[in-house]
Amino acid sequence: MVYKIFLAFFLCWIFLIRVKSEEKPKDFENKDYYHFHFSKDVDLDAFSQELGFEYEEALEHLDGHYLFSIDKGVSDDKIEEKIKDYFGLEGNIIDGFNSDKLFYYEKQKLLRREKRNVIRDPMYLDTSQNSGDTGNVNSGEKDQQIKLLEEKFEEIKKKLNISDKYFGKQWYLFNKKNPGVDINVTGLWLEGITGKGVTVGVTDDGLYYKNEDLIQNYCAEGSYDFNTQTSDPSPKRSDDTHGTRCAGEIVAAKNTFCGVGVAYDAKVSGIRFLASVLSSWLEGKALSYRYDINDIYSCSWGPRDDGKTIEGVPYSAYNSIINGINLGRKGLGSIYVFGSGNGGYYDNCNYDGYVVSPYTITIGSIDVRGIRHYFSEQCSSVLASTYSGSIVTNARIYTTDVGEKGCSTVHSGSSASTPIAAGVIALVLSVRPNLTWHDIQGLIVESAVPFSLDYPGWEKLPSGRYYHYYFGYGKLDAYRMVEAARNFKHLNPQARFSVPMIIVNKKFSENNGHITDKFNLIKAYPDYYNFGKLERVSVTLYFQHAKRGSLEINITSPSGVTSMLTHRRLHDKNYGYVHWTFSTVKHWGEPIVGEWTIDIEDQKIPNLDGEFYNWQLHFFGESADLTKTQSIVYPFITRSPSPIPGEPTVYLPTPSATISPSVSPQPTSESTSEPTPQPTPQPTPQPTSEPTSEPTSEPTSKPTPQPTPQPTSEPTSEPTSEPTSEPTPQPAPPQPAPPQPAPQPAPQPAPQPAPPQPAPPQPVPPQPVPPQPMPSRPAPPKPTPQPTSEPAPQPTSESTSEPTPRPPPQPTSEPTSEPTSEPTSEPSPQPTPQPVPQPAPQPAPPKPAPKPTPPKPAPKPTPPKPAPKPAPSKSSSKPTSTSSSFISSSTKTKTTTQKASPTSASGRSSSTQSASHTSFFKRNLLLISILIASIILLIFGFLFLFIRFFKKRDSYTNGHPVTETLNYESDPNMSQETEKATMLKRNQQVTSSDLSDTEDPNMYERRILRS
């Protein structure tokens, strides 16, 4: 009985866990799905009831990300209006203004992903570059050399005890005919480096883990099927073979079966999600699944490689990648490997959002001859390359297939190159498990081996490295990469920043189809953003053209190195607006300071209609000071082209790098004046309300030189307006600092410069020291909210508008630097607002008699506000530094940025929290009821055992055991009278004295009967 009780309890518990893990299937035929990113103060139940949504689920590992559904038939415009009304948003706030509760939302769209083993008809692909001399890779081979290679191969097989029947045909592991045309991995195996302790997650269409070459290396804990919501990732359809083939290249075991994998002792997980209707939400879940177990994510898929598709990374997927970068591998960062694609000459992988991401590794493809495959896709984001098979050269990839004894020889495309790269990285991590995701990228650049240098396209860079748009910095040499990893010095965490948007507004037809623009990057930028060594450059362009595929775009660095961001895509004849972020790794290690030039040219029909509106530079690299780096939080996201010219305004990469105010360029005239507003000069105007964001950023950053270089009067007007929109996202991170204002008020009272009149003296000389000589381009990065070290004045939302005064407080003396900015206009009125944000600075400037009760106390009443605002610091936790800043697209991809609003009532947080708890119980009512029922069942079980125990104890009276138990039904031939007589006779030893005075003499008899 006890066994049954515990069994029932166990089964109920299993059911409970299963119910909790199951998700409702998505019904895209009858419902629309929306992804919302909320603050913690939003009551999900109230939101759902008010707007008519139904809560679906939360995105695992990401706080504040939720999926809701609504019946089809409700227009997108109506939903947008409801959202505006619910959150009290004004105007087109969803298209770019700020909200402290709604950070982002988008309607889920069905995605089309290609498994990149699909090779298109060669007649559509250009193979001209493969003709002619291919270098010395295939030339001059002698029979003697081949004989020596054969002997060495047999020796390796014997030492490693490899009996796999197709190992001899795995030319990419050991090439017996073309020495050097392989990944040079066997030497590592001989040293015992085989990938132990590393797990690779294959995100694909399934994994047939029962295959003899996979079963011993299968990792069930890191596997899941998002299509069927089960833990078994096995393929369910006949064409779900792609993932199994990719897995075999990585971990196929060393046995007597098919072949061996690059890291044949590593573990592999199957994450199945490509086999059914695919949404951006589902893609995001797959890319962050069990990042605590899966070290590397091998992704042999992507948008269509048809030469005309432009597709970015979905919001949920990008956030999942950032989550993996920050938390995966115990904080060292998950490693994401993607293929460049199979679009051939007529496509460019810089139009693939996953490829241009600074947090992924892009791998190109090489064929057995040491040249590019006819399907290979080029772009400036390719970091390195590995080998792939082809039916053209009859050089096959031997790997596992579906079935217990399945073995494939037809796996090809960049789908085959990506897993080999993942296997090489697994070997590296088995030797240096403490390398970060950032270290791995640097290690690849340092150890990649150029090859076939006579092949057209290689370019020698000032750094001494070679680069090719098809092969990156060269092929991955496993042995060389592991050796380099042994003594590799850790890179400092990543630093990043963006320059202000650069306005162009030029028409192609008026410039003979060729437009060039320049931006001079001064040293103040890298200094201000703690930027050390350059690694990657991203360029956001906004233009429209009658045939966008005709455009070739290049960026030239101060060192004179030109990166082709995209070449002509002849199949892309689409007309419309393009707002896209391209990327290049070709400038790795170059100096960043100097003139950067963008060049766009229509190489076919110069007179076609079109206009180049604006562009923006984003820099990624190694931080200069390890102690000042910040974690990666929602960097800029590559978006699909936006059809509305006015929408795309700015890409805010991260809280660490603030992008100057967005200048929504109206594609009409040449507004050359807009670039100037960028100067961060102390905004002399007194923006009482909106400026709150700016002050927070500037005060936080100690580099006073940067604000000072901009002490010009002209920019003061424009900066005030623009910063209010863009910088607001950045204030979100600084909000946690409000408590700091308290210390600053203390210094204020002591240094109260009695002579506030000396305001006129404007000692500007000291501040001009920083290099402000920016050409017509925007001034240095003044409004970076990154340094959240001293955001004390942030609490004073209204009066903290004047950021320049804060830097001066650092010098204890009364430098004339601050006065310069303040007296620029109306000394009397301006001083009053400035003192409020930075009470400490008052000692230095003569005017800042703010907090004292001098004659100008009237404006001073504002200071009291700081006191209450420190309390609202609670609300500051809401933003959680998720300064989500992204481009909104016309397809209802809406973006709002978190803004620091100290006015949010702290009391509401408690009510909303309780509401959220209520919503949790409502959503999990079934689970809770099952758990309670199980507990009750267990209690009854124990109660039953307790009663049985006492029953048996009652069978003993005064130490006389009952020797026999009688029952009326024990013997059908014995009458009741006979049974009683027999019982009394056998127990005549029990006398009435043994019974208590109150006990019934017949009770003993009844006890015997019960027993």
CA distance 926 to 923: 8
Q: Which two tokens stand for residue 236?
A: 């369910």
3-state helix, strand, coil in the chain (%, to 5): 30, 20, 55
Q: Is the per-residue pLDDT at 741 higher than 70?
A: no
Region 439-450: mean pLDDT is 98
To the question of domain 176-435+465-490 being in CATH 1.10.1740.10, the answer is: no
Which of 139-148, 321-330, 475-484, 769-778 is predicted with the least confidence, judged by mean pLDDT? 769-778
On whether the CB atoms of residues 617 and 596 are closer than 8 A, the answer is yes
Q: Is the per-residue pLDDT at 328 higher than 60?
A: yes
Query: If you search the block for the tokens 């007194």, which residue do you land on?
Result: 686
On whether the CB atoms of residues 413 and 375 are closer than 8 A, the answer is yes
Q: Which two tokens stand for residue 939?
A: 């209690």
Confidence at residue 185, expressed as pLDDT on a 0 to 100 scale: 97
Region 621-631: mean pLDDT is 88
Alpha-helical (H) ranges within 388-540 are: 414-431, 437-447, 478-486, 524-528
Q: Is the per-residue pLDDT at 46 higher than 80?
A: yes
Region 130-141: mean pLDDT is 44
Confidence at residue 988, expressed as pLDDT on a 0 to 100 scale: 52
Catalytic site positions: 204, 242, 415
Confidence at residue 993, expressed as pLDDT on a 0 to 100 scale: 42
Which of 114-123, 803-812, 1001-1010 is predicted with the least confidence, judged by mean pLDDT? 1001-1010
Confidence at residue 985, expressed as pLDDT on a 0 to 100 scale: 54
Please provide the DSSP assignment of 19-85 as one string.
HHH--PPP-TTTEEEEEEEE-TT--HHHHHHHHT-EEEEE-TT-TTEEEEEEETT--HHHHHHHHHH
- pLDDT, one tens digit per residue, over 699-708 is 343 443 444 4
CA distance 518 to 792: 38
More confident residue, 862 or 336: 336
Q: How confident is the model at residue 992 (pLDDT cuts 50, 70, 90)?
A: very low
Confidence at residue 278, expressed as pLDDT on a 0 to 100 scale: 79
- pLDDT, one tens digit per residue, over 388-411 is 998 777 889 999 999 999 999 999
Query: If you search the block for the tokens 């028409």, which residue do you land on?
Result: 507
pTM for the complete prediction? 0.63
The share of the chain scoring above pLDDT 90, in percent, equals: 43
What are the residues whose beta carbons fall under 8 Å from the beta carbon of 458, sequence distance 6 or more? 450, 466, 467, 468
More confident residue, 222 or 738: 222
More confident residue, 703 or 456: 456
Confidence at residue 90, expressed as pLDDT on a 0 to 100 scale: 66
- pLDDT, one tens digit per residue, over 527-569 is 999 999 999 999 999 999 988 889 999 999 999 999 999 999 9
User: Does residue 600 sit in helix, strand or coil?
Assistant: strand
Q: How confident is the model at residue 941 (pLDDT cuts 50, 70, 90)?
A: confident
Buried b (16+ CB within 10 A) or exposed e, 263-293: bbbbbbbbbbbbbbebbbbbbbbbbbbbbeb
More confident residue, 979 or 260: 260
| Strands, E assignment, 110-207 | 114-115, 199-204
Give the mean pLDDT of the chain.
72
Q: How confident is the model at residue 15 (pLDDT cuts 50, 70, 90)?
A: very low
Confidence at residue 937, expressed as pLDDT on a 0 to 100 scale: 83
Confidence at residue 154, expressed as pLDDT on a 0 to 100 scale: 94
Beta bridge partners, 115, equal 301
- pLDDT, one tens digit per residue, over 651-668 is 333 333 333 333 333 443
Domain ranges of the chain: 2-109+876-927, 176-435+465-490, 492-667, 676-739+768-793+799-810+833-850+857-864, 962-1011
Confidence at residue 388, expressed as pLDDT on a 0 to 100 scale: 95
Q: Is the per-residue pLDDT at 796 higher than 70?
A: no
- pLDDT, one tens digit per residue, over 927-940 is 787 888 888 888 88
The share of the chain scoring above pLDDT 70, in percent, equals: 58
On whether the CB atoms of residues 427 and 193 are closer than 8 A, the answer is yes
- pLDDT, one tens digit per residue, over 346-399 is 999 999 999 999 999 999 999 999 999 999 999 999 999 999 998 777 889 999
Domain at 2-109+876-927, CATH class: alpha beta
Which of 49-58, 113-122, 805-814 is predicted with the least confidence, judged by mean pLDDT? 805-814
Compute CA distances 608 → 341, 564, 583, 611, 667, whole Å: 30, 22, 26, 10, 16
On whether the CB atoms of residues 1007 and 987 are closer than 8 A, the answer is no
Residue among 487, 470, 435, 451 nearest 184 (CA): 451
Q: How confident is the model at residue 4 (pLDDT cuts 50, 70, 90)?
A: low
How many separate helices (H) and strands (E) can be counted in the chain?
A: 20, 29
Q: Is the per-residue pLDDT at 675 higher than 60?
A: no
What are the residues whose beta carbons fall under 8 Å from the beta carbon of 284, sequence distance 6 or more? 59, 314, 315, 316, 317, 318, 319, 320
Which of 47-56, 253-262, 718-727 is predicted with the least confidence, judged by mean pLDDT? 718-727
Q: Which two tokens stand for residue 186?
A: 């066997």
Q: Is the per-residue pLDDT at 950 higher than 60?
A: yes
Q: Is the per-residue pLDDT at 681 higher than 60?
A: no
CA distance 743 to 741: 6
Region 864-884: mean pLDDT is 38
- pLDDT, one tens digit per residue, over 753-779 is 444 444 444 444 444 344 443 443 444
Which of 71-80, 91-100, 149-158, 389-398 is predicted with the least confidence, judged by mean pLDDT? 91-100
Amino acid (one-letter) located at 545: H
Confidence at residue 390, expressed as pLDDT on a 0 to 100 scale: 80
On whether the CB atoms of residues 755 and 855 are closer than 8 A, the answer is no
Domain at 492-667, CATH class: mainly beta
Q: How confident is the model at residue 275 (pLDDT cuts 50, 70, 90)?
A: confident
| Strands, E assignment, 832-913 | 893-895
Torsion of CA 88, 94, 97, 101, to 10 degrees: 50
* Range with the largest mean pLDDT of 79-88, 455-464, 684-693, 948-957: 455-464
Confidence at residue 113, expressed as pLDDT on a 0 to 100 scale: 74
Q: Is the per-residue pLDDT at 611 higher than 80?
A: yes
